[in-house]
Each structure stands twice: as C-alpha cells, then as structure tokens.
Structure 1
Amino acid sequence: MRADEGERKELYNYQQKDIDAIFAKLEGKPDNYHLLYQLPTGGGKTVIFSEIARRYLQDYKRKVLVLTHRIELSKQTSQMLTGFGVKNTIIDSGVKELPYDNDFDCYVAMVETLNNRLKDKKFKMDYIGLVIVDEAHYNSFRKLFAYFKNSLILGVTATPLSSNIELPMHETYDDLIVGEPIRALIDKGYLSEAVMYGYDVELTSLKIGINGDYTVGSSDELYSRLAMQDLLLQSYLQRSSGKKTLIFNNGINTSLYVYETFRAAGLPVKHLDNRTPEMERRKILSWFRKTPDAILTSVSILTTGFDEPTVETIILNRATRSLTLYFQMIGRGSRRLPEKKTFEVIDLGNNARRFGLWSDPIDWHYIFKNPEQFLENIRTDAEIESQYTYTMPDELREKFSKTADISFDMEEEFRLMAEQKQKPKMVIEKSIRQHAFMCIENTESIPEARKLARELDGDIEFRVKEYAKLLSKTTKNYREWLIEDYKNRLSTLIGRIFYKYQEDGEDGIIELKKL
C-alpha cells in the first residue's frame, strides 16, 4: 500500500535544531549504533523523523525503515513521509513479498508483520541504512533489531522509560538526546497550557499487577462505584460542561458505567474500546470531531495515534503508576489552536501528586540511566493520602464570602477535647456546627443552605479522614459511614438552627456557637 497524498510541514526552530543535533550524533558512528530521542507529545515527532528520513536518503543514499506498533500510526506516518517527498510503502498483513530491487526508498512497517516476514525469510532487508522506531518505549521492537545489525537505529519517544522494567532502555540505546521540554513548548506557543484540577481519591483498594500498574479488576471495582461515578459527573459539570471531553478509564466495565451515567444525565457521550468494530470506531471518531460538546469515554485506545486538536478537557478517571501513560493521556489535549491556549485536566486518580504536574521539569537523562531507582521512588498511595491537605477552590470560597474563617484544625481540636476529657465525637459535632453556620451565613433559605452544603463534600471527606486517622484503628466501612452520617447530620442541623439565626441575627449565632 502506497500513500498517495501528504502535506509538507514547515519545521519550527526547535525541530530543526534537534534534527541537526541528531545528525551530528549519528555522524561517523559505526553500524548498529542506537540513539534515542525524546520529545513531548505534541512536539511533532512524526514531522521530525520524516525530515530525518528525507535528509538521510539525500545524504547517505541508503534506504530507511520506520517501525510502528499500530496500523493507524503506520498510515499517518506514511502520509507524512509522502508530504516530505519520501517515496514509501506500508508493509502490512497484505504484503506477502518484497522484491529485493523494489522501487521504494522508505518502508513503514508494523512490528509483528515485519517480524513474521523476516522470520519466514520472505523479506531480506540488509540494504536498510537507518531504522526509525516510533513509540520506542514499547519493547516489542527489540526482537527486530537482530535483523538490522548493519543499520543505525533511532528510537523516538515522549518518555524514555521502558514499558518493561526488566528491559531498561539504556541496555538498548547508546545515547539519549532530550528535546524541548513541555514548559518551553507552552511558553513559545506550541502547546496549550494544562489547567489541572485534582480531587482526593482513596486508592488503597487498588492492587498492583505484575506489569507494575494497577489491575483492571481492582480499578473497575473502585471506579464503577456510585460515589465515584457521581464524583466524575459532578467534576465534569463543574469544570467542563459543554466542552469537548476525553475520559480515560482503566477497564471496559468502568467506561460502560461512565457512558450510562452521562447518557442518563442527557449528555452527548459515546464509548470506545479496543473491541469496537473498525467501521463503528470510525463513525464514533467522526462524530467526536464534528460535535463541539462531545464526550468520549474510552479504554486503551486513544493514548497513541489519535490527534484531535479541538479536545478541551481530559479526565483521568483512573489511577496509573505508568509515567508514560500519564503523559500520553494528558498529551491528547495539548494541541494548540489559535483560539485554544489552555485545556482542562480533571485528575481522579491522584496522578499529579504521584508524578508532579504535566508541565513540571523532568530529568529524562536520570530516568533513562536509572529507571529502577526512579520507579522505586514513585510515591505510594499511602504517602499521597497522608500528605493530602484539602484547599477549598477559589470559586467555592467565594460562595462563603460572608464567613471570615473557614479553617478547622482537626488535630488541634482533637487535642483540646482530650485535655477537656470530652469524647472524641465532640470534635465531629464542632466541625458539623461550623459547616452549618457557614452555609446559613451565606444563603437566605433552608433549601439554598442545604444545596450549598452539598458543595462541601471535599472538605467534609478530608475532615472525616483526618478524624479517622486520629482514632488510629478504623475500618474503611466505618469511615464511609462517618462521611455519610456527617452529611445527614449537617443537613438536619441546618434546618434546626436556620430560623434561630434569622430571628436573632449575629447575636444568635454567637450564642448558638457556645452550645
């Protein structure tokens, strides 16, 4: 299959600089030299290696092979190469033979297909001078390298961290070139700025599988719960209502629950996973592109090879311990448009607290050389949980503008109650009273006050978790019961004291606080 159309892209200054650095590194190197190049998602890796292929053919007069792991990437790559004037063909399952004297300068091949052809000796490719490996952090490419011992190999990736800890990338590649960082690409106007919102999610029920990431089963169990579905829907309505949104999940069951939850809310949503038939998948993606407020919930399908610049919100409805996946998911929203300088990221998996913000600086050279140490130092969920401090969002704080002090030091209040020989539950009573007064002071009716109380869920859950820690031994079920009981009692207390407040004004409030 040959691409017959393509578009030549103009190279940005940083892209040209990196291309020059790559050729300077390759100059004079022996055959079988392996070089790795890192550039963030959205930085234009395909553009860069298409220009590298063109320039290599021109300067070295030897053929080029580009390896990909998905058919969509093969088609996109072939089209881009054509745009750069590189005469290429795709080696897919339909290509059974490749004559030695064929007419192409460059080949784009799926890993498994090419491996089968070379293993069966259907192809002979000893004339290849440069092998370019797209998404090089995947380990499926390694088995092909034995066939190209007389070729230079250039791996390209956004995250130079192997998908298999047993096969670190520094054992495969001799050197690493690091491209422009995310922060610089944002500041120079090449990528959109991520506005990130995090929610405290208790992940202690998640299990880690043999691949080092959370298992699908434990993720499905957690994220399919009604409370998590409600958190997802409310965070979308609060942060992203009416915006084109991608939701990433860890399990198909979770994604289907998301689909039903959003559909029941009357929102324009569709579900996509790796079992979706090709024709239906195309229709869904076409719908997503054309629909301004479309919501697409997905599993393991849109992290690579998918480019839709109009995406305005990314929702991480999952936790991951994979740095690569973290960057891939957020990167789907980072494409810059004239009218799109920012995009939202809603994090429901404590991922930013595990890895840092998407645009934070990262020492890729350290990670490349010391992957074991990096992975060992990833913060555990227990550490994240213990260090979490709730901060009321500014827009919510404005709704409590008539309340001067909304803080509540659970540890200090617990200590005071102990000194006064009061029961620990009195701390919770005091917290509920403070929340009740906050709601009443800032509204004019009981329904309004109770509605405002429902927006305190984050603060309530944080306070209850802090209280539970001070009790030392509590079960998860007990903590969940405490949260639910707190909300019920808050609603009841609002009704009980509202009329007293309206009748006595500020003096009444002072008196009630002494009760």
Structure 2
Amino acid sequence: MTTAQGSPTAYEPRFIHNSGYQNFYAELQDSLLSCKSFQMSVAFVRYSGIQLLLETFEELEKRAIPGKILTSTYLNTTQPQALRALKRFSNLESKIYIPTRDRGFHSKGYIFEYAEKNKIIIGSANLTQCALKSNIEWNVRNYTTHEDSFACDVRNEFNLQWNDSRSKIVSDEFITEYSKYLARLGKKSMPENAFEYETTAIEPNQMQKEAINKLDRLRKNNESKALAIAATGSGKTYMAVFDALQVRPKKLLFIVHREDILIKAKESFDRIIDKTKFSTGFFTGTHKDDADYLFSTVQTLQLHYEKFGKNDFEYIIVDEAHHASSPSYAKILSHFSPRFMLGLTATPERSDNGDIYSIFDNNIAVEIRLRQALEYELVAPFHYFGITEFNEITYENVDIDDVAAVAKLLMISRRVEYVIEKMEFYGHDGDKRKALGFCATVEHAEFMAQEFNNRGFVSLCLSGGNSVTERTVAIQRLESADDQLQVIFTVDIFNEGIDVPSVNTILMLRPTDSSIIFTQQLGRGLRRLPDKEFVTVLDFIGNHRKSFLMAIALMGTKQFDKDTLKVAVKNSFADIPGSSHIQMDEIARDRILEQLENEKFFSMKYLKEEYRDFKRQIGDQIPMLVDYLKIDGAVDPITFINFSKTYLQFVQKVENSIEITALLANPDLMNVLRFYSNLLPCKRPYEFVISKYLLHHDTINPEEALLELKKYIAEPRIDTISHSFNYLSQNFFDSGEQKTFSGLLFEKRGTTLTTTARMRTVFESINERKWIEDILSYGLLRYEQEFSDADYGIPFFKLYQQYTMKETALLVNYQKAHSAFRGSGLITSGKEFLLFVNLHKNADVKESVNYKDLFLTSKVFQWESPNTTSQDSDRGKDLIDNYKRGTNLHLFVRKFEEVEGLTQPFTYLGKSVCQHAEGNKPIKMLLALEHEVPADLYFELVTKV
C-alpha cells in the first residue's frame, strides 16, 4: 500500500539507497533523533562518516539517549581518529572487535528502540562518508514489535558480538596501541577502496573525453583556438596530452608561468606520448633543449621568442591561461601563428582585466564548475558546517561592506575561543590540521594569527604585502607533516589561483557578502590527493542581511527562486553530488530561511546590489553579459533582463551613463536587443549561430548554416535550420511583433537568409555592434554550459530543463504564430502533445496542491485533460491510446505559476504513456513517465515550504 504521493506507509519494509534526497545518512539521522536507544554493528568506522553525525551525537548526549557502537579492526580500515571522536560522548559505549584470520567482521546492522516498536536496518552501509552519502549501498529498513522473532534474533546476535571476548572496550590505551600498529604498517594498511585496476594505458576521464571530442569538432570546422575551464586537479594537463595525440603535431609548445608546473606537465606528456617518434625538452633559464615538444616558462620565452619563426609550432598550449591577456603573454602569443592554440585554466575570471574568452575566440572546449567537478569526482568532497556566529557578535548596526568596521566587530578574544572550540569539535581529516582562515582585513588576519599562537595553535598571517617567496615558504610549512604550522590566516590572496593541495580545513571567519568569493574560498581546499578523504569547512554565520548568499552559492545553478532555495536549505542541500555534506545548526538555518522568505530577489533594490557587487568583482568596470559566465557563483543576468526588457536598459538604470543614453535613443538597436533578449537563456543555438554568422556576412544559406552549427551541435538538422530561417525572417510573429520588427532583422530570399539594410546599419556601428556581439556570445556560451553539444532532435527538449510555453513552440518547429503557445494546458503540434501543469497554488497562497494534477509516484502522474475533451473524440483517442496512435505526450510541470509576481517556466519531465483513463470532459488519466523523476527534483516539486 502507498500514499497518494507515493511514499511507503509508515511501517512497511523500505529499501534505502543513496540517490539525491534519498540517502542513508538522512535515514540514520532521523532514526537516531527519534529513538529511545540504539545499537550499531558496523565493520568500518572512519572519521569522514563520524564527523557528519557529531551534532546528532551531541544532541543525543544532551537528551541522555544511550547508544552502543560495535566496530572492528577488519582490514585495518577503522581510524583511531574516529574512535576518539566516539569516545567524547558520555552516552555512547564503543567496542571494537578484533577479527581472526578465519573469522572476519563484516556486519552492517542498526537497531533503534522506540516505545512500542523497533526499527532495524540491515544492509551494506558502514559509518563512512561514502556509505552514508554516495556509495551504491543496499539497505532494508523494517519495523517490528519488541517480541517479534526477527527482532529478538538481531538483538541476540548483537549482544553475542558485544559480549564476545574479542570485543574490546575503546579505551585511550587501546586507541594508542592501535595507532602504533597502523603506523608500523604504514602504507600496508588497507584503505576502504584499496584495490585499483590499472591498465598499461592511461584512459581519459569523463571531462577529458568531452573536451577532446569538442576540440576535434572545432578543428574540423576550421576553428584554431579553444579554452578549457576545469577545477584544479581535474586533469586538464592530461586532457591536453590526449588532444595532442589526436592532432599529432610535429612541433608543440607548452607555456606556463611556473617552472614546477612545467616539470609536471612534461612528465604527463612523457607518460603517454610515443617517445620514439617525438622528443620532449625544456626551454627555461637553465635548459634550452632542441626537442619536438618544448616546455617553456613565459619568463624565458618573452626574452627569446623571436628566435622562433611564427609557424614553428603547430600546436601551442597555454597553461594558467587566465594570465594570457597580460603584456608578457600577449607579446608572445601575437608572435606565433599555430594551427591550434589551447588554453587551460581553473579560474577564467582572473584575466588581469582582459577578456580571456575572446583571446580564445569564445570557443569553450569544456567548462566544469564546482558541482559538476564534485559529480565527476574530480575534486575532494567537503563537509560544510554552517555555525551560528558567537552570541556577542551582532551586525544590526554595521554595514558589512565596511570591512574595517566588520573587522573591529570580530576582533574579540572570546570569539577566538569560540572558533577554536568549534574547530576542535568538528576536527579534520588526517593527522595534522592544515587550515586556511579567511578574514575581513589584514588587521583581522594578524589578530587571529596572534590569538591562535597565544593558545598553542601555530599560525601566521599572509596578505598581498608578503612576497611570493614568503607565501611559498608558508605554504610549504603548512603542507609539511613535520612542521608545527596549522593555520594560515589571510584576506583574499587565496581566493583565486593559489593551490594548497593538502588543505583539510577552511575557516570562513568573515560575513559572506559575495557568493562569488564564497565559492572561490570553498574551492581552495578541494584539490584531490590519494590520502585525502574530505575537507572540513566551518562557516560562522552571523545575523547580517546577506547571510543567505551562501545558500545561493551552494545551489550551484543560475536558475532558482526563493522557494527552491528554501527547500534546499531546509533539507541541507541533500542533492549535493557525491559524499559531500552540507549542514547548518538550527539557529543559522532558521535565520537564513527567514531571510529568504523576506528577501525580494526581483526588486530593483536587490538587483542593483547584485549588479554592483559583481561589478566590483571584475575591477569596477561595466560588466558585459559574457562576464557573468566567467565566474562561478555569479548572479544570473537574466534577472536584470526580466526586470528591464534588455540588459542595456538595466545597466542604464544603475549607471546613468551618457554613452548608454545615446544607445538607448536608437530604436532599431533597442528592438534588436529585445528580440535576442526574449530568446534568453538560449534553448537551441540555431538562431544565435545564424545571427552571429550574419554579423560578418550579408547572407547565409542552409549549407553554410549547417557548417556553422556543427561547431555547437553534434548533428544539426536541415529542417530545423529551415524553421530557424523562417523564424528570423518573422514568419511566425504575431501582428504586434510584425509591427515592431517590420523592415528590421532578416528576410528570406528563396532558401537564403539576408540581412536587412536597417539591420546592417545596426551591425556596422561599433558601439552598437559591441552589445549585439555580447548578447549573441552570451547566448551561445551559456547554451554550451547547460546543454553541451547533444542533439535533442524535434522536439528540441532536454530532460529537466526549464521552458516557457512560447519557447516550446520554437523547439517543436511550430509552423504558426508562436504567441498561440500560451494560456492553455494542452497544446498540440502534429503528433507532439505538450501538457503544461501547475502543481501548486501560487507561493503566497496557503492552499497546497491542485489535486486534479499531481504526482502519484515519481514514475506516475495523474493528469486531467481540458474540460472540453471526451474519450471518443479524436483528441481524446490520441491522448488515451497515445502509444498505439504514435502520439507523444510531453509533460511539463511547474511548482507555482508565479513567484514574486513573475511568471515561472515549466520543467520538462519527458514523454509519458497513458496507463488508465476514466471520465469525460475532463478525462482523468494516469501517465507512466518514460523517465523516473530524479529524487532531488521530485522532492523539490512536491514539497511546499
């Protein structure tokens, strides 16, 4: 039996696995916080798992809820650090079973006692971060009475193990001896994932495969430059090697600004390329080798580049490409004319006030930001703990943009003690703490370092005033296991660019006033290392007005509203990829939820603040649309466009610029910008690719369009090119649109699309062209971020992407005025039936669900047809017998019709098949979804907070 929303009834057996919002951690935490007592028998206990439960165990200790935890030394995987953490809690008894050679210990069972029942979970999950959050684990939950034979058997077996002579009390003496034993074993001790299968060849990872496929396609379409953007440690250098294997250049040049990076890059090439056919060497201050593949520092090359001919290198790789606009790089790159140039960077925003994207012709080979890097396991997992700020700190009368005032507020000794208390409580991965502490000012950083040193935690302060040598030495000390240094306090020099691989702790000691800086600071500790399980992130959340920005940063998506954020915060961002973990204490969570409830995200006041904050991030220059794509965590400029019709109009409201005033006075320019603004965010690239081509050419034919589109889509379609030509020439505009754009945009002559005279005039004006190029580049770059190069055919829909009704008309190649695609819950285009559903009343209405249209499970949706449709009509038969009649039922849902007065888009859930139908005018139908709704999206759609 199931409930209407598809949840199991309270006490029936349940399968528990890790999938989005459904994970073993959530089940375990809920069970612990609701029971009278508990017992656990698990083979492995690692600190990565225990840290996630520290606050839960502390709460149980306050309530005097007793618990027993039995683990083992099986495979030497249990960590002494985890045992020490368990021993802290007075309500917990811990024992550790010492297995014999022939009798291992591999149980995974959890027993929870309630007043009238037991809950028992048996399966595969140990107490590790991966088992709780991300591993493929199979666990079964069952409720029983106290007298049930199954429950009695499980309890008896636990007691036998607990009382066995090989089960030892976890005492200080035991932990000390066990630690010494593991130290003697050294690398022989077996980690949880000890076995790794290595072939003789190094295979590209998922990111590298995507990149080399895209690079190959770009070259086939006569492109000569590209940029790869991916997190530090994700394998960009190997990706460059794999691409070089595709090109097989006779001569290759690798450029970077640091010699240590250069040495590692050469080692990567040497491991993969055929050394019998290509030689490798250095071109540095100390080595000037004669080799096929040359690895050079920019410092040496800028002194000697004229020794090489401009065509000497067929392939040039620019590592740390965010420096490519600096004078030293620009001089070198302008000298050479390679067949192909590839830029590699983790931080495209660090461009020395230059546009890195344009240097590489806006061709993005791959762009992987934080969430995707976590999903691909390219960076280390993190455990984020949002902690309520020290109770004596209040921001009520402080402007958080006044960093000096903020620093003065934070520089009190009692707050330092509070920070240390929390740092010690949550602990860290590994033997030595290696922490970065981000402060408000240099004075604040110096204060923190001194206070920590006074309390026995060896620390220092680094700022922009320190030399490169001083920074390097400090990092080496922090990374060294033999050095006493535990914490480096800094202001902003580690926000970007600096890599400290072994950092295991991030302390966010200043109020979050920018989601961009928050994301950069978070990323500083995520470099993967073989013996690094996770990074501990402690964020001290105060009562200032921008506390909620951390929620926006952790969402990892540009498309959100306050309801989406509230659900995410309330459920601790349970959809975070992999075994990363996000947790806020109750006060911090409630404070952020209250802020989200009261914040007007689409008000002019809020939007102006977001714009100005972003402008400061890029050097206080007016941002173009493409700038917002360069920085992870940046505001979505579509919100500015929605407010003011075009981005240029919004900028003018903030800047009040004479130059922009003149541009706004040109009605043709404004209509062109409005036309493309209405197509943002770009949902298919055809219109943008064709328009970008026509910036430089008077006409385009279908064959030319096909070649251009192949740079963006694996297999573009001629019929969609034809539809796009018709759309751009206003064939599907309604009367109002035709009046606005009459004589503007493009016109079709036979099969060729031609730029109108008025459009050419707009294109040829330098100032006006700048803004048109920007909006077209933004549309295509964002398309690549969100859609990659997949061919979605007709309809051109991507699962779980958001669409407005009018956008769907474009994507089904609708042959009539596209304004007809609105205001109805069912729209048809040939055999494509599009079902649009509002799940809830508007966000400000208390009634929860529209009970006519609702999810029965994540696989089955109940839908009612329009009330004019009967079962015996042609439309009714197409709906009910859609599988037999070849009708495609596409389901689009949105949670609310409006949020903050703005109409919301629909989420595409894919095709469905009618399983059952009853009634007439309307017909009630049960639709089986072709794709089960992912757990995180399903939870978001059915939950109203």
Alpha-carbon RMSD: 4.5
Count of residue pairs the alignment pairs up: 348
Length-normalised TM-score, structure 1: 0.54
1:370 matched residue in structure 2: 625
- In structure 2, the CA distance between the partners of 1:178 and 1:23, relative to structure 1 (3 Å rule), is closer
Q: Are residues 1:126 and 2:322 paired?
A: no
Q: Where in structure 2 are the equivalents of 1:146-295 lying within 5 Å?
A: 146-161=334-349, 163=351, 167=355, 169-170=357-358, 172-180=360-368, 182-187=370-375, 189-198=377-386, 202=395, 205=399, 219=403, 222-223=406-407, 226-227=410-411, 231=415, 234-239=418-423, 242-243=427-428, 244=433, 245-249=435-439, 252-272=442-462, 275-276=466-467, 278=469, 281-282=472-473, 285-290=476-481, 294-295=486-487
Shift of the 284–338 alpha-carbon distance from structure 1 to 2, 3 Å rule, reads: closer
**Distance in 2 separating the partners of 1:286 and 1:238:** 24
Task: Tell me which amino acid in the other structure corresponds to 1:38.
Answer: I
Query: What is the deviation of 1:290?
Result: 0.6
Return the letter of the residue paired with 1:126.
N
1:428-467 mapped onto 2 (5 Å cutoff): none
Q: 1:271 to 1:361 in 2, by over 3 A?
A: same
Structure 1 residue matching 2:220: 3-state secondary structure? coil
Change (3 A) 1:19 1:280: closer
Q: Is the 8 A contact 1:192 1:340 kept in 2?
A: yes
**Cα separation, 1, equivalents of 2:371 and 2:255:** 29
- Higher strand proportion: 2
Residues 460-481 of structure 1 deviation map (CA, whole Å, 9 limit, x = unaligned): xxxxxxxxxxxxxxxxxxxxxx
Aligned equivalents of 1:280, 1:175: Cα separation in 2: 34
Q: Partners of 1:285 and 1:125 in 2: how far apart?
A: 39
Cα offset, 1:285, TM superposition: 1.5
Contact 2:508–2:538 (Cα < 8 Å) also in 1: yes
Match of 2:506 among 292, 314, 329: 314
Corresponding residue for residue 880 of structure 2 = none
Equivalent residues of 1:303, 1:328 under 8 A apart: yes
- Judged with a 3 Å threshold, the aligned counterparts in structure 2 of structure 1 residues 303 and 376 are, in CA distance, closer, same or farther, namely closer
Does 2:294 align with 1:106?
yes
CA contact (8 A) 1:273 1:301 kept: no
Larger radius of gyration: 2
Match of 1:37 in 2: 228
**Conservation of the 8 A alpha-carbon contact between 2:371 and 2:556:** yes
Q: Do the aligned partners of 1:41 and 1:327 also contact (CA within 8 Å) in 2?
A: no
Aligned residue number for residue 436 of structure 1: none
AA partner of residue 132 (structure 1)? I
**Structure with more helix by fraction:** 1
Equivalent pair of 1:255/1:271 in contact (CA under 8 Å): yes
1:332 aligns with 2:524: yes
- Residues of 2 paired with 1:188 and 1:172: CA distance? 25
Q: Contact 1:137 / 1:157 at 8 angstroms: preserved in 2?
A: yes
**What SS is found at the alignment partner of 1:131?**
strand
Secondary structure at the aligned position of 1:126 is classed as coil
Distance verdict in 2 for CA 1:273–1:62, change over 3 Å: farther
Name the amino acid aligned to 1:265: R
Which digits, 9 at most, give the CA deviation of each residue in 1:337-362, with x for residues without a partner?
Answer: 67754422234696871683356245
Greater RCO structure (CA 8 Å; 6+ sep): 1
Q: Out of 497, 517, 526, which is 1:304 matched to?
A: 497
> How far apart are residue 81 of structure 1 and its match?
3.4
Q: Is residue 52 of structure 1 aligned with residue 246 of structure 2?
A: no
Partner of 2:253: 65
Unmatched tracts of structure 2, length 5 or more: 1-199, 560-617, 640-945
In structure 1, the partner of 2:615 is none
- The aligned counterpart of 1:117 is 304
Determine if contact 1:161/1:324 at 8 Å carries over to the other structure: no
Q: Deviations over 1:68-99 (max 9, x none)?
A: 2344433443443344457544444556xx68
Q: Structure 1 CA distance, aligned partners of 2:313 and 2:424? A: 49
Query: Percent identity among equivalent residues?
Result: 19
Query: Contact 2:310 / 2:337 at 8 angstroms: preserved in 1?
Result: no
- Cα distance in 2 for residues equivalent to 1:371 and 1:219: 29
How big is the shift at 1:262?
A: 0.9
Partners of 2:333 and 2:515 in 1: how far apart?
A: 25
Deviation of 1:21 (Å): 1.6
Q: Distance in 1 between matches of 2:624 and 2:280?
A: 35
Q: Could you tell me which amino acid in structure 2 is paired with residue 130 of structure 1? A: Y
Judging changes above 3 Å, is the alpha-carbon distance between structure 1 residues 341 and 257 closer, same or farther for their aligned structure 2 residues?
A: same
Task: Please say if residues 208 and 235 of structure 2, whose CA atoms lie closer than 8 Å, have aligned partners that are also in contact.
Answer: no
- Compared with structure 1, are the counterparts of its residues 304 and 167 closer, same or farther at alpha carbon in structure 2 (3 Å cutoff)? closer
The answer to whether the 8 A contact 1:194-1:342 is kept is yes
**In the superposition, relative to structure 1, how do residues 162 and 285 fare at CA in structure 2: closer, same or farther (>3 Å)?**
closer
State the SS of the aligned residue for 1:258.
helix
- The 8 Å contact of residues 270 and 295 in structure 1, kept in 2 or not, is answered as yes
Matched letter for residue 236 of structure 2: K
1:490-515: CA deviations, max 9, x gaps? xxxxxxxxxxxxxxxxxxxxxxxxxx
Shift of 1:132: 1.8
Contact 2:494 2:521 in 1 (8 A): no
1:279 shift after superposition: 8.0
Q: Can you list the C-alpha shifts for 1:213-269, whole angstroms capped at 9, x where unaligned?
A: xxxxx6466436554775465235314555322224575444332211210121132
Contact 1:135 1:157 in 2 (8 A): yes
- Give runs of aligned pairs for residues 497-512 of structure 1, distance below 5 A: none
Between the aligned partners of 1:298 and 1:169, the Cα distance in structure 2 is 30
Do the aligned partners of 1:248 and 1:316 also contact (CA within 8 Å) in 2?
A: yes
Q: Which residue of 2 aligns with 1:357?
A: 553
Aligned partners of 2:436 and 2:528: how far apart in 1? 16
1:149 aligned counterpart, secondary structure: coil
Q: What SS does the corresponding residue of 1:357 show, helix, strand or coil?
A: helix
1:81: which partner in 2? 269
**Contact 2:281/2:295 (<8 A) preserved:** yes
